[in-house]
Copies of this chain bind each other. A is one copy, B any other.
């Protein structure tokens, strides 16, 4: 279905002079995701820089039944930000909505527009002597609106929660083009249904987030970073519980398998094993301290853990440079899987205490399906969130391995859901990638409620249709 020329004229007028583009060279990079999995098409890029212009655009969309796909930094991993390949949806970039509207240091809040890049948001907080704790690999590109719409996680969730916990209020353009002025700096408000919760994690299917008021925190006076080898995943889970009983706050607790460390040491120049011998599993720990809090906590944690036989060896960073080097091992883990060939990836969560059993059972299932395949389970163990990635067998054909993605994923997801009541998308969302997969695993009651909400709030099905929940069969 082509879009009527008259509709495009009206949309351009609504966006204003510098608020749109039909330049294929400008649009092209926004139509493909960074993993190269989804490729969309659109006749028109809209890039307004005011909530009024976005409201005007959405009014035209509603009147003309035109589907609209919002996009922030285009760092999503499930195709939520990519329009359909049929070219019948307009793309709305929020990147020019990038003002910091307010920072209230004493009140510990800041109000930002949706297009502010996460790194800039962190810096706005930092400049006011405060911490905005959300942190993830794509923070140089990902925007606040996208992070809210996908309820982003990252490494700070253990202490500060996902984006959902960091949002106090929202401003959003509703599917009929009205503006919901829900910005609020309140910590408590029980005047009815908590509407902002609907937009957080909805991936633009219920409306377009244009601004948010976010929670800020005191900056830590110091962060102690430790890297320790553990004999088992169970020991890692127990070490977390033990570390949390010490002073300071455990602000990151990441799990890595030996094979993952080997990938990094092999493929990333300048990295080295922090420990003398090889061990089966590792954890990377950040402990944040406030002014006046006793230091040396990380060392205490490791000594106690060694006494309880929870760790085999460990080091505490003695400088910021050493801490950065330890973190680099974790951050390069995704990239270091690429030179090892195909990787079938899963972003799953289970209850924290079930992580050891899950990793074992999923690994066994994969070994049966694809003998020689190499699981590289890593991630945010304190959140129960494991990136259960599987590298191809050494020397195997990459395409043949990747062709088995759905079969392998089905086996892993079956274990996640049926054995552990877990989630098949812990932090990346649903998008296009998992819209049919979640319908398979969620109950009929849950899918029906999602569909009822979508139909109630977006009866024309123009807001990022086909993402998160289908209200009509796919064309």
Contacts and interface: CB of A to CB of B under 8 A. Distances in A.
Interface of A: 104, 106-109, 150-151, 153, 157, 161-162, 164-165, 174, 178-195, 197-198, 200-202, 206, 218, 237-238, 241, 244-247, 290-294, 297, 300, 349-354, 380, 382-385, 421-430, 434, 438, 441-443, 445-446, 449-450, 452-453, 455-457, 468-469
Given A294-B247, A445-B178, A352 B192 contact: no
Contact of A351 (B186, B423, B446): B186
B191 A434 contact: yes
Contact of A423 (B162, B191, B244): B191
B294 A300 contact: no
A293 B244 CA distance: 12
A183 to B, nearest CB: 8
Contacts of A428: 190
B445 A456 contact: no
Given A182-B446, A192-B450, 14 more contacts: A104-B351, A107-B352, A107-B354, A151-B190, A184-B421, A185-B421, A188-B385, A189-B425, A190-B428, A191-B442, A247-B292, A293-B294, A449-B457, A453-B453
Most buried by B among A195, A237, A238: A195
Contacts of A108: 241, 352
Contact of A162 (B153, B188, B246): B188
A186 B352 CA distance: 8
A232 B297 CA distance: 37
Contacts of A150: 190
B442 A186 contact: no
A353 B385 contact: no
Nearest to A354: B107
Contact of A193 (B201, B245, B423, B425): B201
A125 to B, nearest CB: 15
A107 B185 contact: no
A190 B431 CA distance: 10
Copies in the complex: 2
A292 B165 CA distance: 29
B107 A351 contact: yes
Secondary structure class of chain A's binding surface, majority of residues: loop
Closest 8 CB pairs of A and B: A107-B353, A456-B456, A197-B197, A189-B423, A185-B351, A247-B293, A187-B383, A188-B426
Nearest to A195: B449
A382 B108 CA distance: 11
Nearest to A206: B193
B201 A194 contact: yes
B452 A456 contact: yes
A318 to B, nearest CB: 21
Most buried by B among A190, A422, A427, A445: A190
A324 to B, nearest CB: 25
Given A186-B422, A188-B426, A456-B452, A443 B246 contact: no
A467 B292 CA distance: 49
A180 B247 contact: no
Contact of A180 (B165, B245, B445): B445
A107 B355 CA distance: 10
Nearest to A158: B187
Contacts of A352: 106-108, 185, 187
Nearest to A107: B353
Contacts of A421: 183-186
Contact of A190 (B179, B201, B291, B441): B201
A300 B129 CA distance: 22
11 contacts: A150-B190, A151-B190, A151-B194, A182-B446, A186-B351, A186-B384, A189-B426, A193-B469, A195-B450, A218-B244, A246-B290
B446 A188 contact: no
A354 B104 CA distance: 11
